[in-house]
Amino acid sequence: MLEKTTAFHRHGPSNPRSHLVLQVMAAMLQLRCFGPTLSPSLRFAGWTTDSVLAVLAAIPSFFFLSSRSIGRQPTTRHRSPLKPRSLAAHRDSSKVHLGVSQALGFYTWVESHCGFIHNESTCRAMSRVLARANSLQNLWRFLRSNETLVSTATVTSIIKVLGDEGLAREALAAFYRMKQLHCKPDVVAYNTVISALCRVGDFKNARSLLEQMELPGARCPPDTCTYTILIGYYCERSMETGCRKAIRRRIWEANHMFRRMLFRGFVPDVVTYNCLINGLCKTYRIERAHEVFEEMQQIGCVPNRITYNSFIRYYSVVNEVDKAVEMMRAMVARKHGVTTSSSYTPIIHALCEAGRVKEASDFVVEMVDHGSIPREYTYKLVCDALNSSGEEGFESDLRRRIEDGIDARFRLVSQKAKKAVGASASVVQVLLSRLRLFLSPGYPYEEILRTFHNQTGNFMCSYLPMFKSFNRTKGGLIQSNHGRPQPLQYVVNAAFLASVFSDYLDAADTTGWYCGPNFYSTDIDYILGNNPQKMSYLVGYGTRYPKRVHHRGASIPKNGVRYNCKGGWKWRDTKKPNQNTIVGAMVVGPDKHDGFHDVHTNYYNYTEPMLAGNAVLVAALVSLSGGKTGIDKNTIFSAVPPLFPTPPPPPAAWKP
């Protein structure tokens, strides 16, 4: 099983999706039993603390991820709920139970059969896995059995995980269990549980813990962070409490906590001041916000960009744009921060609403000159306002810089999302469907494999036009990447997966996704020339195809002259067709309006050939050309041992 584990130790544990982690996750998904029959390869260098931590850290993303968690921001950026919630209601309970059992089995296996000695770090990681699964009985049982490895930091990390999941009551119970585990709470543990309680609006218990810390002779007195947590959540919850009286009450409590902090001799830092100023600005108490701002500078606490942005947002909302601009200029003049898109965006929106379109466009130009890129909505808002007012639009160079920056930001966010959710999730689901259809593992694996199969069916159905999950161009091309550039590589991915899944169902005579070949054959026909441009996006196929592909070997003539990198720019910038033809290369394709420009200069959006897209295109064409009888039902999983016990022999014939 672990033949390729040496690659993990060569590259280090910094990559959680290493070969070792993927092999262990594959064994868990195949329901392999972690016991004597599962032994490492002879070439395996042995388990280390980093490798065990990497495996345990990957388990929640494979087994505990709920549909509501996909695409949400990290917990520090995501809007916290007011009421306690349980993500277990939105998870697949069978997958969660499987993940817990496999994690515990792996934890025991590496120690009993691989000679690894667990330490405090691995015990803490295993505890976090059980807390993420909301398997509290298993968690307390595990902590009692590993009591020598449990420390205050371990219980604090458990409290943080439970607080991030919205389980404030369970987090408080874990805090009070510290004494049973022979751990003494420190100020970090107090701050963590107070944050978990404030996050769900339980300020009563949070204040009770603070009063315990403030008692004379208390072992854990509060610090600046303790008061900052309460002040920040009072201000954050002020606008979510409903009536105006409740809002004033929350802001009063935040101010009272701030004065209480000063009375006890604590010096607020910039984070404390930012929390209070932001809450005051959001509740339109601008005079008090300026008083706090002046006090902040008098005690020598230097404000930063976040401080000024609170005032900028307030003045932009109340249509006092000139004061917002004045605050931004003051920030730069006093060298208290650098302007970014978060500083410019409120001002630009307020100027557009006030009809001062020319000034808004000037701020966009200034923003780009300072190295920031506006958000896509802001950019379109200003462009539409310029068109409506008859003003002159942005220059072509500036427009290209902004659009390239927006596209680069989208690619970066997409890469992070793929890394978090798993870029190959749909591929894995299709393979698990094949495992269920062709091997029929039976009980007890049928239930979880049927769940994966149903998820695969729902995912494939999203490709069909009737469900309208994806937009389509007027020419009929599915916009799998939601109208962004380079669409064809995503289209061939969808066509290949749909073709394979449909073939699986046909070969197994299984009811399910019967769309026939219409979906994927239509998109492949679009690529090969059945589109509004009447152009084949596969170079060399048909009579009309891209002649200015951005490819060095295709552009530079074979004349015996060696051209360096800059020397090739002559051929890159020319309007003439390529000197050579790279037959079979698929370009990135048209835009969301079926438009295509066969030019060298805008190669990223139209004429860039991509190896990744070509590889999947070949697979899709092979899948389309092959019949359903050509599927070998055992090729991929021929090495997988039987996943179910051999049935007993039939009973002997009955004799009267």
pLDDT, mean over the chain: 79
- Could you write out the three-class secondary structure of 35-80? CCCCCCCCCCCCCCHHHHHHHHHHHHHHHCCCCCCCCCCCCCCCCC
Task: Collapse the DSSP code of 15 into the 3-class scheme (helix H, G, I; strand E, B; otherwise coil) and give the result.
Answer: coil
Tokens of 391: 């003003």
Tens digits of residue pLDDT in 40-69: 766 777 888 999 999 999 898 888 876 544
As a residue count, the chain comes to 656
pLDDT of residue 641: 47
Cα separation of 474 and 497, whole Å? 23
Task: Collapse the DSSP code of 495 into the 3-class scheme (helix H, G, I; strand E, B; otherwise coil) and give the result.
Answer: helix
Tokens of 603: 């190669």
Task: Collapse the DSSP code of 358 into the 3-class scheme (helix H, G, I; strand E, B; otherwise coil) and give the result.
Answer: helix
The kind and range of the H/E element at 262 are helix 244-263
Q: Is residue 14 scored above 60 in pLDDT?
A: no
Contact 436, 450 (CB under 8 A): yes
pLDDT band at 616 (very low <50, low <70, confident <90, very high): confident
pLDDT band at 311 (very low <50, low <70, confident <90, very high): very high
What are the backbone dihedrals phi and psi of residue 629, each rounded to the nearest 5 degrees, phi first? -75, -10
pLDDT of residue 639: 45
The kind and range of the H/E element at 239 are none
pLDDT of residue 651: 62
**Any idea where the domains of the chain sit in the sequence?**
1-178, 424-630
**In the chain, pLDDT over 70 holds for what percent of residues?**
73
Question: Which residue in the block uniquely carries the two structure tokens 């409490």?
Answer: 241
Looking at the whole model, is its pTM more than 0.85?
Answer: no
Contact 394, 402 (CB under 8 A): yes
What are the backbone dihedrals phi and psi of residue 424, each rounded to the nearest 5 degrees, phi first? -100, 20
Burial 176-198 (b: 16+ CB within 10 A, else e): ebbeebebebeebbbbbbbbbbb
pLDDT of residue 497: 77
Contact 348, 402 (CB under 8 A): no
Cα four-point dihedral sign 211, 212, 216, 220:
negative
Q: Is residue 246 scored above 50 in pLDDT?
A: yes
Residue type, 388: S
362 against 627, higher pLDDT: 362
Contacts for 324 with CB less than 8 Å, ≥ 6 apart: 311, 312, 314, 315, 316, 346, 347, 350
User: Catalytic site residues?
Assistant: 550
Segment 639-647 shows an average pLDDT of 47
Contact 639, 580 (CB under 8 A): no
Contact 501, 513 (CB under 8 A): yes
Hey, how many other C-beta atoms are within 10 angstroms of the C-beta on 530?
14
Is residue 8 exposed (0-12), middle (13-18) or buried (19+ Cβ within 10 Å)?
Answer: buried
Residue type, 319: N
Contact 336, 305 (CB under 8 A): yes
Q: Is residue 577 scored above 50 in pLDDT?
A: yes
Q: List the single range of 282-296, 334-348, 548-562 with lowest mean pLDDT.
A: 548-562
Across the strands, what pairs with 472?
478
Return the DSSP state at 88. G
Strand intervals (E) in 385-534: none
Contact 346, 312 (CB under 8 A): yes
Q: Is residue 607 scored above 60 in pLDDT?
A: yes
pLDDT band at 273 (very low <50, low <70, confident <90, very high): very high
Q: Is residue 287 scored above 90 in pLDDT?
A: yes
Tens digits of residue pLDDT in 94-147: 888 988 999 999 999 999 888 889 999 999 999 999 999 988 999 999 999 999
CATH number for domain 424-630, candidates 1.20.1630.10, 3.10.310.30, 1.50.10.10, 2.40.50.140:
1.50.10.10
Tokens of 618: 């070949």
Cα separation of 380 and 374, whole Å? 10
pLDDT of residue 438: 65
Q: List the single range of 46-50, 115-119, 395-399, 475-479 with lowest mean pLDDT.
A: 475-479
Hey, how many other C-beta atoms are within 10 angstroms of the C-beta on 279?
27
Cα separation of 109 and 38, whole Å? 9
